[in-house]
Amino acid sequence: MIKRKCKVCTNIFYVFPSKKDAKLCGLKCAYVYLKRTRKGKHNPNWKDDKVGYSALHQFIKRHKLKPKYCAVCKTGPPYDLANISGKYLRDLSDWHYICRRCHMLRDGRMANIHRKGLHAGKKNPRYRHDIDSKKLGKLYLKLRSLRLVALKFKCSTGLVIKRLKKERIKINAPEVKINVK
């Protein structure tokens, strides 16, 4: 038997001459050794800069500390991890944590929302603030059709329902016609 010293726990262990290259005393130390040595670039599944979008974000989230405030406006808490250069590399200095508003402004998504009219304004059928609930209620009582009222006011039927509930007007369920042959 050959006397060896374990690389992980530093205990002395004995092996047969055929296993003279043994470095570890048992399975527990083998798992610990693999966990320590197969990190990052030494892992056989390491993809370097060819990593996918989500895996790269996970890597950056694990290695970059999240600050208390947004890196851009320094007011609100940061929710998003944003890439600065747009190249999506593993460089930690190329990433920062920013709030959702700053992220949308930086990426141009906020401009797209305003350009397409999806913000809470006149063009958005979901969030129309310019519609008078009383006029809407009177028209509904006259027409008795959510769809026709929505078309008349150029808004969604969901908004019509919300406004009718606000005015405490009962909404009649549409009649279902059954054709019997």
Band of pLDDT at residue 13, cut at 50, 70 and 90: very high
Mean pLDDT value of segment 99-110: 86
Report pLDDT digits (tens) over 141-174.
Answer: 888 888 888 888 877 788 888 888 888 877 775 5
Which of the pair, 75 or 178, is modelled with greater confidence? Answer: 75
Contact by Cβ (8 Å): 81, 95: yes
pLDDT at 24 over 50: yes
Mean pLDDT value of segment 13-34: 90
Quote the pLDDT of residue 175.
44
- Residue burial 59-97, b: 16+ Cβ < 10 Å; e: rest: ebeeeeeeeeebebeeeeebebbbbeeeebeeeeeebbb
Instruction: Please state, in angstroms and rounded to a whole number, the distance separating the CA atoms of residues 169 and 161.
Output: 9
Report pLDDT digits (tens) over 31-66.
Answer: 999 888 888 888 888 888 788 889 899 999 999 999
Contact by Cβ (8 Å): 116, 89: no
Instruction: Please state, in angstroms and rounded to a whole number, the distance separating the CA atoms of residues 81 and 100.
Output: 10
pLDDT at 123 over 70: no
Phi and psi based region of residue 66 (left: phi greater than 0; alpha: psi -120 to 50; beta: remaining): beta
Band of pLDDT at residue 9, cut at 50, 70 and 90: very high
Quote the pLDDT of residue 20.
84
pLDDT at 126 over 70: no
